[in-house]
């Protein structure tokens, strides 16, 4: 049986939408994607999590800073409070269930917030000496390098110490949530990936690997490893690292 993968989506003017490349990447890696529905009753997330084998937190608009104890600064962009509330509830329940999670761009930020961390509302006004993180190039263009921490889940998956990624963000993780570590950064010190040290497979990346899986090996490996993790019954972090590193 192929694993059932929940995928979060945007809600605008009553319409739910998700980038089709996310769905295609899940399918290509061997999963069956289902879009997470919106509901005023967030307790329904308990039921949803019980029916999932894995969860993808997709990209989207900015995050309401009141969820991490700040008020909005001038360069904060569009927010979707309904999405923030739904995803924070969903993430907490998924973490409690030790469900494999792959978080992408906005997804890595809301993952960190839900787990108790914080973030930059706007990199360009809150941090100096930056690279271009909102690239003016096609979504398949590899814009800048990320440098991986040795021995992390991401480094083990990719079997690289660095690789190039695309980049479409002006917000980013600032301080990791308790139990999370930084697993990749760009040369200007911006956090590019985080992962949980206490869960079986919880990985967040700041770039968009879903646009790259047709040709980029690290992106393929990220999705393939996530789907593989979603099929595993023994959900111990050490067990999965052993699986990845075994001959």
**In the predicted model, what is the mean pLDDT of residues 124-146?**
96
Quick: pLDDT tens for 65-105: 999 999 999 999 999 999 999 999 999 999 999 999 999 99
Quick: pLDDT tens for 34-70: 999 999 898 899 999 999 999 999 999 999 999 999 9
What is the CB neighbour count within 10 angstroms for residue 94? Answer: 25
pTM of the predicted structure, to 2 decimals: 0.95
Separation in Å, CA 114 to CA 35, 172, 218: 20, 14, 27
Judge whether residue 230 has pLDDT over 80.
yes
What is the CB neighbour count within 10 angstroms for residue 234? Answer: 8
**In the predicted model, what is the mean pLDDT of residues 209-236?**
92
Separation in Å, CA 17 to CA 22, 59, 69, 111, 204: 11, 11, 28, 20, 21
Judge whether residue 245 has pLDDT over 80.
no
Q: Which of 169, 170, 208, 211 is catalytic?
A: 208
- The pLDDT score that the predictor gives to residue 233 is 75
**In the predicted model, what is the mean pLDDT of residues 113-132?**
97
Identify whether 211 is a catalytic site residue: no
Identify whether 210 is a catalytic site residue: yes
Query: What range defines the domain where residue 196 resides?
Result: 4-245
Judge whether residue 149 has pLDDT over 80.
yes
- The pLDDT score that the predictor gives to residue 74 is 97
Quick: pLDDT tens for 150-190: 999 999 999 999 999 999 999 999 999 999 999 999 999 99
Please tell me the distance from the alpha carbon of residue 29 to that of residue 36, in angstroms, as a whole number.
19
Token couple for 174: 């600032």
- The pLDDT score that the predictor gives to residue 247 is 44
- The pLDDT score that the predictor gives to residue 40 is 87
Q: Which of 105, 144, 170, 199 is catalytic?
A: 105
- The pLDDT score that the predictor gives to residue 241 is 59
The CATH number of the domain holding residue 141 is 3.40.50.880
Judge whether residue 242 has pLDDT over 80.
no
Please tell me the distance from the alpha carbon of residue 19 to that of residue 22, in angstroms, as a whole number.
6
Identify whether 232 is a catalytic site residue: no
Q: Which of 87, 210, 211, 228 is catalytic?
A: 210
Residue 181 CB partners (closer than 8 Å, separation 6+)? 149, 152, 194, 195, 197
Judge whether residue 137 has pLDDT over 70.
yes
As for how many domains the chain has, the answer is: 1
The torsion of the CA quartet 148, 151, 154, 155, rounded to 10 degrees, works out to 60
């Amino acid at each position: 049986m192929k694993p059932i993968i929940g995928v979060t989506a945007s809600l605008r003017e009553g319409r739910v939408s998700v980038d089709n490349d996310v769905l295609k990447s899940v399918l290509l890696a061997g999963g069956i994607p289902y879009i997470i529905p919106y509901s005023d009753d967030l307790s329904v997330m308990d039921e949803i999590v019980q029916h999932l084998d894995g969860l993808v937190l997709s990209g989207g608009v900015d995050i309401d800073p009141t969820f991490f104890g700040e008020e909005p600064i001038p360069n904060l962009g569009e927010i979707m409070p309904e999405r923030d509330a739904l995803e924070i509830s969903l993430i907490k329940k998924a973490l409690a269930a030790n469900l494999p999670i792959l978080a992408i761009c906005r997804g890595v930020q809301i993952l960190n917030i839900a787990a108790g961390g914080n973030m930059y509302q706007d990199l360009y006004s809150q941090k100096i000496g930056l690279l271009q993180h909102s690239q003016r190039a096609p979504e398949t263009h590899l814009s800048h390098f990320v440098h991986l921490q040795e021995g992390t889940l991401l480094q083990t998956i990719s079997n690289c110490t660095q690789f190039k990624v695309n980049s479409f963000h002006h917000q980013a993780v600032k301080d990791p949530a308790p139990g999370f570590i930084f697993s990749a950064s760009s040369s200007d010190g911006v956090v590019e990936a985080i992962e949980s040290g206490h869960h079986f497979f919880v990985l967040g990346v700041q770039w968009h690997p879903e646009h790259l899986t047709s040709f980029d090996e690290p992106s393929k490996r990220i999705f393939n490893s996530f789907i593989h993790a979603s099929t595993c019954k023994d959900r111990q972090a050490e067990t999965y690292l052993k699986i990845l590193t075994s001959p």
